[in-house]
Each structure stands twice: as C-alpha cells, then as structure tokens.
Amino acid sequence: MRVLFCESCGAPLDAPWTEIVLVCPHCGAQNAPGRLIGQVISSTPNDGRPRLNLNGRTYVLEGQLAQGDSANVYKARWAMRLGEAVVIKVQRAEADTDLLRREYEALKRLTEASDPATTHFATRLPEPIAIGTRAIAGRDRLVTAYAWRSGFQLSLETIHAQHATQGLSGRVLVWVYKRLLEQLVWMHRNGVVHNALTPSHILVHPKNHGAMMVGFTLSGKVGETVRGQAHAWRGAFKSAPPSGTPSRDIAMAAWSVLWAGGAGFGSKQTTLPPTFRAALIRAANGHYSDAQAHLSQINTAAKHDYGPGKYSPIDIDGWH
C-alpha cells in the first residue's frame, strides 16, 4: 500500500500499487497518480542522482543496498508526489534473465494467493510492483521493482557480523526461526519453495520480532527441480535435501540459524541451548518435511530451554 492525496480536495487515499485510477471517497474526484501510458512527469527536482523509468513511472536511485548473485539491488523513490520508497533490482549477467523473472513470478503468485493468511504473510515478502527491460550501459537489462518494507533493511548475515565473536542470542534466534517456519507453512501450502534460504536472504526487523525472506531467484513450485544454488553458500549445503522440497527450505533455515548462533554442527562455542540446538541440527540434516509439525517441536523445545516467551530485541549499533 501507499498513501497519496486527492488532487481535488487533499484527502488522504490508501492506494494499492496495482490501482491506476483512484476515486476519492470524500469528494468523488478521479485521481490517476500512476498512469502506465507514457512517462509520469516528475514532481521531484532533478538533483543529479540517476533516474530510471519503468512502465511509465520514474524512479530516483538513492543508493545501492546489495549485490546479489543475479542483480544489483538499489533503494529508490518514485519521482512524484510523496516519493514512495521502492527496491529496484537491475540484472547484471545476461544469462540471469530467467532467474529475475522466476523471482518476480513466484512473489506475484504468493502475494496474490487466495489464502486467508495471505493478508498477513504477504507483508513479509517483497511486493511486486513492476517488471520490464531497460537499456542500461549499452545493453538491455531486466529491471524489477518491489515495495519498500520499512524496518527490514538488515540481513541475518549482516547482523551476525556485529555479533560474530559470541553469536546471536539464543532467545533472539528462537523468534527468528519461528517467524521463518510460520512463513514456510504458508508458502508451502500455496505451492512455493524458496530453495536458497541463506543468511543473506533472511531480513530481520531487530525490534519488532519480524523476519522476511528475499532472494527468490531460485524459487519454484513444490516438487519442481531447480538447478543452481546461492553462490556464496554452495559449500555449506552439500547435504541439503533436493530442491523443490519443503525439507530443503526447513534445512537451510535451520542451518542459517545454527550459523548465526555460532553453532556449526561440531562447534561447542554457541549461544544456543541444548534442546533447541538439537532440533535445529536434525532439521538442518533434512529430517523434517512439514514446517507446521516442526514449528510445534520448536515451540516445545524453546519452552523447555527458556520457559515462557518474552520480548528479546536485537542490539544493533546505530539501528533506528
């Protein structure tokens, strides 16, 4: 969702990205802030920052967020009205066009799923806004745009770097893992597997106990074999279950949490308590294929190790 204001009476309008013409509920005026015919005229002064036009909307690129396996990732703003924040992904290698399309289509399928839980869980995924091809640096590149999710700017990999000496708190990793399993229950029920759930593809909200999955370029339908693996983590998952299986997502989520807690399979230097850690190791070894049943086991393990749950934010220097 985005917030716009009626051009006639100034009333606030709650506007889904998919709506082109918005009728003001107060004065009845028709507003067309996102016309897809031609380029939207910018109301943001040109200050020299790079701009990119995609499907009739002009975006101002504010800075690079990450460099993924297939694309460069930027934070940007729509150059009109309130300047809603978005995430722009620009393809790097010509051979990766299918991966970016795969990601966009999987997220579209999930965010539009006719499931009562979609209203909640879709807010924990990148929301597809636009996809198209642009000529950049002398060649055509696929570009995708997603809505900005406030507070989800830090990956589990980035957060771990601040706590690398002792690993993240076990109490913190309990709620991170629970949020991932809850999301996987919904995703698998709607026929989608992530296939590459590494620490760099898990975004965490340090204060609100939220976790969000990104990096869906290797995702697919349940039962579909997808070739490839996230480059930076190939060596870590030699024994991971086959792609296309719910077991693979559960195993990779468990491995990522073990890693963030400083607990490699043989390491004794860990912040994770014994019952929770044992359940994670079994999951990372591919023993679980039902995220809902495994979530129940984790709830039991966490209660055994920690007692009743309590609020446990992540301490991040400079985060606000």
* Poorest-pLDDT segment among 202-206, 241-245, 268-272: 268-272
Whole-model pTM: value is 0.80
Tell me what percent of the residues of the chain surpass a pLDDT of 90: 42
pLDDT digits (tens, 9 = 90+) for 110-163: 999 999 999 999 999 999 999 998 887 778 889 999 998 888 888 998 888 887
Determine the average pLDDT of the residues in 279-305. 94
CATH of the domain at 225: 1.10.510.10
Residue 5 lies in a domain: yes
Same domain, 20 and 68: no
Domain co-membership, 1 together with 71: no
203 close to 155: Cβ distance less than 8 angstroms = yes
> Which domain, by its residues, includes 10?
1-33
Q: Is residue 313 part of a domain?
A: no
Residue 159 lies inside a defined structural domain of this protein:
yes
In a domain, 92, yes or no: yes
Task: Answer yes or no: is 316 within a domain.
Answer: no
Q: Of the candidates 147, 163, 194, which is a domain's last residue?
A: 147
**Pairwise pLDDT comparison (88 vs 206), residue with the higher score:** 88
Residue 315 maps to a domain: no
Same domain, 202 and 248: yes
Instruction: Indicate whether 128 and 212 sit together in one domain.
Output: no
State the pLDDT at residue 207: 83
Domain match, 119 and 4 both = no
**Shared-domain flag, residues 185 and 240:** yes
Q: Report the pLDDT value the prediction gives residue 152, as an integer from 0 to 100.
A: 87
Q: What is the pLDDT of residue 41?
A: 45
221 and 122: one domain?
no
- Assess if residue 176 is contained within a domain: yes
Instruction: Please report, for residues 112, 139, 163, 172, the alpha-carbon distance to residue 90 in angstroms, rounded to integers and kept in the order given.
Output: 24, 12, 31, 33
Mean pLDDT over 39-55 rounds to 65
Q: How many domains does the chain have?
A: 3
Residues 173 and 139 in one domain: no
Distance from first CA to last CA of the chain, Å, rounded? 22
pLDDT level of residue 233 (50, 70, 90 thresholds): low
Assess whether 70 and 128 both reside in one domain. yes
Give yes or no: residues 4 and 93 share one domain.
Answer: no
Of 128, 147, 166, the last residue of a domain is 147
Indicate whether 277 and 292 sit together in one domain.
yes
Whether 65 and 22 share a structural domain: no
Q: What is the pLDDT of residues 150-202, one digit of tens each?
A: 888 889 988 888 876 667 888 889 999 999 999 999 999 999 999 999 999 99
Q: Is residue 318 one of the residues assigned to a domain?
A: no
